[in-house]
Amino acid sequence: MLRVLVPNNPQVETRSGTSANGREWSFKQQSVRIYEDGTPFADKFTITLPEDVAIYPAGEYLLDLNSAYERGSYDSLDLSRSSSLIPLNSSTLSAMKKKHDQLFADYSEVLKKTA
């Protein structure tokens, strides 16, 4: 998971236009800061908002890796244009720890069976 910081006074930019075949398109983008593992400072990135999200309020989030990738052309792995952010709070951390503990227990059982 990547830790994402939405700074105070978040702003959304809407981009729109018309494609070559005459179809109109538009999407919203928001600037965020992403902490990479082991780095003390966050780098600035722009994310495309999912259609059902008007704006992510200021705060800390985790990038939902299940929504961050999609199957591309020729079975490639591409970044999704609309990744979701999960608010980073005590209930999120508790759920993540529970899931992590279960995955570790399941993996330990598989290792025991193959040993």
Owner of token pair 């910081």 = 5
Question: Is 82 within 8 Å of 67 (Cβ atoms)?
Answer: yes
Q: Which pLDDT band holds residue 13 (cuts at 50, 70, 90)?
A: very high
DSSP 3-state of 12: strand
Hey, how many other C-beta atoms are within 10 angstroms of the C-beta on 94? 10
Give the chain's domains with CATH numbers: 3-88 (2.40.50.140)
- pLDDT tens-digit map of 32-90: 998 877 677 778 888 888 888 899 999 999 887 777 777 888 888 777 777 788 888 87
Q: Give the list of residues 6+ apart from residue 63 with CB closer than 8 angstroms, or none.
A: 1, 2, 4, 34, 83, 84, 85, 86
Q: Give the list of residues 6+ apart from residue 80 with CB closer than 8 angstroms, or none.
A: 67, 68, 69, 70
| For residues 14-25, average pLDDT | 94
Q: Is the pLDDT of residue 99 over 80?
A: no
pLDDT at position 70 is 78
The pTM assigned to this predicted structure is 0.66
pLDDT at position 16 is 94
pLDDT at position 22 is 95
What backbone torsions phi and psi does residue 28 show, to the nearest 5 degrees?
-110, 140
